[in-house]
Amino acid sequence: MVQKINLKESENSVNELFIYKRVGMLNDCMLNVLQAENRTLEFHIHEKSDEMFYCIEGEFDIEFEDGQTHLCEGDFIIIPKGTKHRPVCKSLVKCLLIEADGTLNKENTGGAYT
* Per-residue model confidence as pLDDT tens for the chain (114 residues): 888 999 889 988 988 998 889 999 999 999 999 999 999 988 999 998 999 999 999 999 999 999 999 999 999 999 999 999 999 999 999 999 999 887 665 566 655 656
pLDDT of residue 19: 87
Which ranges of the chain does DSSP label H, i.e. alpha helix?
7-12
pLDDT of residue 73: 96
- Residue 10's SS3 state is helix
**Closest of 23, 8, 29 to residue 94, by C-alpha:** 8
pLDDT of residue 14: 87
**What does pTM read for this prediction?**
0.86
pLDDT of residue 106: 56
Domain ranges across the chain: 7-100
pLDDT of residue 15: 87
Which amino acid type is present at position 64?
F
Domain 7-100: state its class. Answer: mainly beta
